[in-house]
Amino acid sequence: MTRSTSRAGFRALHHHDLPLVLPNAWDVPSALAFVEAGFEAVGTTSFGVASGLGRPDGGRSTRDANLALARALAPLPVHVSVDIEDGYSDDPDEVAAYVSALVAVAGVNIEDSTAETLVEPAAHAAKVAAVKRRCPEVFVNARVDTYWLGQDATVAATLERAARYVEAGADGVFVPGATDPAVLRELAAAVPVPLNVLAIPALSPAELAELGVRRVSTGSLPYRAALHAAVAVAEAVRGGGSVPEGTPYPALQARLVDYASGLA
């Protein structure tokens, strides 16, 4: 496999008729599966990566694992965006240095909370600005955790934070936890860069597009669904029930052989 994409191309995906649906992988096989399904871009999930290490999410435990995962995903012929939690540091320059070390990523997602507590908007804006100075071509998706954490979860407070991040150079704004159509419409109308939300079961991509949403992330849902499916298979075997379908072994093996051959 060879990388046939550009960072400018990733930016353009946020301006199609329908929102960019970004599936979030946690390792090479999950990313390969999304590529096989035809997705043009793949994100990562800090929860899935942290969980794979046996660690809880949000504790800066994924720093080294995400560096390794970015290197592993670099050969894929799709755009890759990495979830870097809060940047793994309170120092903006250290955050920027970390982003510059990520191999061939088209974008990063960086959140304005640490240890499940909102940080001062100025502190997060400084991180965004530092990343854009050092890596101007990387799409910085600034995450606003007001609704996600239930802290200052109002449109006004969210927009105030978003405005600071956009002024600092953010290319997109991510507001996980915001699900009310009226809230989403108001946010999208006021934020001058693409608005990103988590997938909302009650709203299709077309309906989200009508509200002004430009990007939809699956977050940790695919990882959590995979664990749920794995338990369902084991329980079906134990109970003598009908075993759920899985991707055939030869298909998965072929993907890995193809991937490995590209590394040779």
pLDDT for residue 229 = 96
pLDDT for residue 154 = 98
CA distances from 55 to 47, 48, 89, 208, 232 (A): 9, 10, 18, 33, 23
- What is the distance between the alpha carbons of residues 193 and 212, in angstroms, rounded to a whole number? 11
- The residues, any chain, with a CB within 8 Å of residue 71's CB and separated by 6 or more, are 103
Residue 229 corresponds to which tokens in the numbers above?
């499916």
pLDDT for residue 136 = 97
- pLDDT tens digits, residue range 43-65? 999 999 999 999 999 999 999 99
- What is the distance between the alpha carbons of residues 194 and 17, in angstroms, rounded to a whole number? 13
Mean residue pLDDT across the chain = 96
Query: Is pLDDT above 90 for 5?
Result: no
pLDDT for residue 8 = 87
Q: Which amino acid is at 250?
A: P
Looking up tokens 């600071």 gives 164
CA nearest 105: which of 155, 19, 150, 42? Answer: 42
